[in-house]
Amino acid sequence: MKLANYVCGQWQQGAGGGEALLDPVTGEELARVSSENIDAGAMLEFARRHGGPALRALSYAQRADLLAKVAEVLAANRAEYFRISLLNSGATEADASFDVDGAIYTMKYYAKAGRALGDGAMLKEGAVVALSKTGAFLGQHFLMPRQGAAVFINAFNFPAWGFCEKAAPAWLSGVPVVVKPASATAWLTQRMVEDVVKAQILPEGALSILCGAARDLLQHVREEDVICFTGSAQTGMRIRSHPNVLARSVRVNIEADSINSTILGPDGAPGSDVFDLLVKEVVREMTLKTGQKCTAIRRILVPRAQLKAVGDAIAAKLASVKVGNPRNPEVKIGPVVNKAQQAACLKGIAQLKNECTVVFGGDDNFQPIDADAQRAAFVQPTLLACNDGLSAGAVHDVEVFGPAATLVAYDSTGDLIALARRGLGSLVGSIFSNDAPFVEQTVLGIGDLHGRVLVVDSSVGAQHTGHGNVVPSCLHGGPGRAGGGEEAAGLRALLFYHQRMVVQGPSARIADLAARCTDAALLYV
Ligand code: NAP
């Protein structure tokens, strides 16, 4: 089966043999993708000429209704998405839910939030600016929906959520979507697109999909387009520095990898609430989606006196987690997505072993349940420990995109802050502590190098939303190594798909334009 591309309002097969999508447990071929001979330039032009104008003929509220219908279609096909997630990603039920239900929830969230934007055609930002003594000549800032296409280049680990969290704010803004999922897991995104296209909810050109390599896609982007990329920092750099992207100043958002840390406060003695909550969260982060989350905990920063106790507690929990074929209902950790990712994880763990001791796992030849270790792409959950974090290199630099994390001892709050900052820009950091001055000092010390900081104390307990969980109402993204991007953050996400500009002119003309607007202040409520 070769997955078709949806381009210029038609299903088109790419040429040649394409690239195989495999079951990471059995190694069996499931489907193929090819973007060969697909005209990416024509695809983008069709989106700009047909999809964009049709979407922008609707108001924000009308487009919000479209999102609600898309969410309904996706919800109706949820079982099929779980089946594909199991086959192509080796996802357990919980893993598939995180991606698929997360996608549907996000689409519904934007459908609901978007209704508040009402009948406007664009957004008016702030009050008028007086530019003449009489008030006859004024300035008004506007946010205009971009008239280009939104190009999404996505990572393999969130084929459902990665598509929907980007598509929802783009459509709500009136911008057509061209999605290029990662080849390895393109099947799920392609199936979702097929279902939405079949349902005939969106205008022609509002949604296109390119399955397979990006090829010359970036050669065809223009000044009014936007690119939203999620993936490794290395690919992100290539996209950001593409000559056509640079020459045309195409707006780019990059969500890249990140060496996220969780922090146990000095009050986190064994038996305390915060100790137990941190241990639980680390195990959740290492096991859910087999640690293949950009937000997953990679470094566990703990007071030196607690290094052993935290390590023992996490190791004890990991020892009881079953790793193997996700078709076995007892299994909690499935494989990583393919042999290449398995090799990359094992290489990363080997690098970490050079400066760390192994607390749990780390066996390259470990035997998963109900699977042939030779054919399958498993990585044993691995916990490492580092005594001298300030001198370490790989601990702060190597992202093992799998079920691995490293404990790092700290001696003072100053050292802790320096250690967390060695991530050089992270999506998320979390702090487990009841020590208010410590929490405040740490948030202030690391905040500028983080997109999100999660603080958990005894008053919150298990009610927190999770270290690695991205909620659509709050910012997702991070500075530096994390890519410097911003997604979600509620309706603030629409800013990316609008151009801020000012009209300076006669007060009557400004009033005419303002009458067509929704107040941009609604993006911030
Ligand atoms: P990747 O290898 O960087 O690929 C990401 C996407 O870029 C894929 O669709 C890939 O297509 C495409 N691509 C590769 N080279 C390209 C080029 N020269 N021009 C245009 N597109 C190109 O990343 P991945 O292995 O799929 O994903 C894992 C990484 O993503 C991890 O490092 C993880 O931390 C990060 N991630 C970050 C976030 C976040 O929100 N910050 C979320 C999830 C994952 P092909 O698949 O066809 O090669």
Ligand 1 within 6 A of CB of 238: yes
Ligand 1 within 6 A of CB of 21: no
In the sheet with 297-303, reading across from the earlier edge strand, the strands are: 357-360, 382-386, 404-410, 297-303, 260-264, 426-432, 450-456
258 CA: nearest ligand 1 atom: 34
Shared-domain flag, residues 190 and 309: no
> What does the pLDDT average to over 505-510?
98
Percent of the chain with pLDDT over 90: 99
Of all protein residues, the one whose alpha carbon is nearest to atom 35 of ligand 1 is 231
Per-residue pLDDT tens over the stretch 67-116: 999 999 999 999 999 999 999 999 999 999 999 999 999 999 999 999 99
Q: Annotated catalytic, 440? A: no
Domain span at 133: 2-256+484-524
Query: Number of structural domains, the chain?
Result: 2
Shared-domain flag, residues 236 and 200: yes
pLDDT for the residue 444? 98
For residues 476 and 452, the answer to whether their CB atoms sit within 8 Å is yes
Q: How confident is the model at residue 189 (pLDDT cuts 50, 70, 90)?
A: very high
Shared-domain flag, residues 119 and 134: yes
Query: Which CATH number belongs to the domain containing residue 28 in this structure?
Result: 3.40.605.10
> Angle at CA 486, nearest 5°, toward 151 and 392?
110
Of all protein residues, the one whose alpha carbon is nearest to atom 40 of ligand 1 is 255
Rounded distance from Cα 341 to ligand 1 centre (Å): 12
For 351, the enclosing helix (H) or strand (E) is: helix 339-353
Residue found by looking up tokens 């270290």 in the block: 467
SS3 410: strand
Shared-domain flag, residues 284 and 301: yes
pTM here is 0.97
> What does the pLDDT average to over 208-218?
98
Per-residue pLDDT tens over the stretch 372-401: 999 999 999 999 999 999 999 999 999 999
Ligand 1 within 6 A of CB of 213: yes
Shared-domain flag, residues 488 and 467: no
Q: Annotated catalytic, 164? A: no
The one catalytic residue in 164, 294, 345, 517 is: 294
Shared-domain flag, residues 311 and 214: no
For residues 220 and 149, the answer to whether their CB atoms sit within 8 Å is no
Which residue of 89, 190, 230 sits with most ligand 1 atoms within 8 Å of its CB, as the best mutation to test the pocket? 230
Please, is 391 exposed, middle or buried when counting C-beta atoms within 10 Å of its C-beta (0-12, 13-18, 19+)? exposed
Which of the listed residues 443, 461, 477 is the one where a domain comes to its end?
477
Ligand 1 within 6 A of CB of 295: no
Ligand 1 within 6 A of CB of 180: yes
Q: How confident is the model at residue 426 (pLDDT cuts 50, 70, 90)?
A: very high
Shared-domain flag, residues 273 and 246: no
Shared-domain flag, residues 208 and 296: no
Ligand 1 within 6 A of CB of 398: no
Q: How confident is the model at residue 284 (pLDDT cuts 50, 70, 90)?
A: very high
In 3D space, the residue among 243, 221, 174 whose CA is nearest the CA of residue 518 turns out to be 174
Query: Which CATH number belongs to the domain containing residue 349 in this structure?
Result: 3.40.309.10
Rounded distance from Cα 175 to ligand 1 centre (Å): 23
184 CA: nearest ligand 1 atom: 46
Shared-domain flag, residues 192 and 119: yes
Give the integer Cα–Cα distance in Å for 265 and 275.
9
Average pLDDT, the chain: 98
Please, is 107 exposed, middle or buried when counting C-beta atoms within 10 Å of its C-beta (0-12, 13-18, 19+)? buried
Per-residue pLDDT tens over the stretch 319-344: 999 999 999 999 999 999 999 999 99
Ligand 1 within 6 A of CB of 154: yes
Per-residue pLDDT tens over the stretch 428-459: 999 999 999 999 999 999 999 999 999 999 99
The one catalytic residue in 255, 281, 486, 487 is: 255
Percent of the chain with pLDDT over 70: 100
Buried/exposed code over 173-205 (b: 16+ C-beta within 10 A; e: otherwise): bbbbbbbbbbbbbbbbbbbbbbbbbeeebbbbb
Shared-domain flag, residues 349 and 443: yes
Shared-domain flag, residues 405 and 468: yes
Shared-domain flag, residues 240 and 190: yes
Which of the listed residues 462, 477, 492 is the one where a domain comes to its end?
477
pLDDT for the residue 455? 98
Ligand 1 within 6 A of CB of 231: yes
Residue found by looking up tokens 């999506």 in the block: 427
In 3D space, the residue among 52, 55, 42, 57 whose CA is nearest the CA of residue 8 turns out to be 42
